[in-house]
Amino acid sequence: MSQLPEYEVVCLDKGNPDLFYESRSMSTLAGQLAQVIQTEGPVSQAVVFKRVTRAWGLSRVGIRIEAHLSALVPRNFARTNDVGTTFYWPEHANPSTWEGVRVPGIDTEARRSIDEIALEELGNAAVYILAQHGGTSRDGLAKAVCRLLGVTRTTAEAGARISQALTHGRVPSVAVVVDGSVHLRK
């Protein structure tokens, strides 16, 4: 099995929480947002905002913080929307052609929940597993994808998201579902 890259968690410089909303902090915040997206992308908006707010000593992302950070996300990053969740993509990545998969490393922060992983990456993980092990059932594939990506339990939500990933982006051109079995196209 070929080695997959590890999901890398960014380490941000600390900020003063008293200055979070000050105009002089805006360029620092925008830079930190860009740093998280470039390092961890594709990455969910929730994760991006959580990393930045924690660096500033703030414990949770409320409506006010979300609005403040949303206005500061640099516009040069591609965005996709998965059932109401925004994902930001690094500058070098095109969501429609991206073939990446990242596995968790030893850092517990590198463990992502199923809804923190873009459909494109879930689909790519499915294609990777099918290429390594051949065809399998939808349930078997969902379990294998969850195991590969470090998702601890294969819940109904996880199975549904992985099934959705099989019909999303580039995946339908390389994988097919027939009678509940998933395999690569010949």
How confident is the model over 99-109, as pLDDT tens digits?
Answer: 999 999 888 88
**25 with 80, same domain?**
yes
Residue 83 has a pLDDT of 85
Q: Minimal CA–CA distance to 102: which of 94, 90, 110?
A: 110
Q: How far apart are CA 49 and CA 6, in angstroms?
A: 21
Q: Which residues on neighbouring strands pair with residue 176, listed in sequence order?
A: 183
How far, CA to CA in Å, does 36 sit from each of 6, 52, 105, 152, 157?
Answer: 15, 8, 17, 24, 26
Q: Minimal CA–CA distance to 3: which of 97, 103, 134, 110?
A: 103
> Over 80: is that where the pLDDT of 49 sits?
yes
**177 with 116, same domain?**
yes
Write the single-letter amino acid at 180. G
Looking only at Cα atoms, what is the longest distance across the chain?
A: 59
Please report whether residue 93 resides in a domain.
Answer: no
**175 with 114, same domain?**
yes
**1 — pLDDT class (breaks 50, 70, 90):** very low
What is the domain extent for residue 41? 17-88
CB under 8 Å to 71, separation ≥6 — which residues? Answer: none
Q: What is the mean pLDDT of the chain?
A: 96
Please report whether residue 4 resides in a domain.
Answer: no
| Rounded average pLDDT over 15-29 | 98
**82 with 113, same domain?**
no
179 Ramachandran zone, left/alpha/beta (phi>0; psi -120 to 50): left
For the chain, helix, strand, coil in percent to 5 are 45, 10, 40
> Over 50: is that where the pLDDT of 65 sits?
yes
> Over 90: is that where the pLDDT of 127 sits?
yes
Please report whether residue 96 resides in a domain.
Answer: no
**Domain tally for the chain?**
2
Q: How far apart are CA 21 and CA 84, in angstroms?
A: 26
Q: How far apart are CA 44 and CA 3, in angstroms?
A: 24
Please report whether residue 5 resides in a domain.
Answer: no
Residue 2 has a pLDDT of 60
Q: What percent of the chain has pLDDT over 70?
A: 99
**166 with 131, same domain?**
yes
Which of 58, 88, 118 is at the close of a domain?
Answer: 88
Residue 186 has a pLDDT of 85
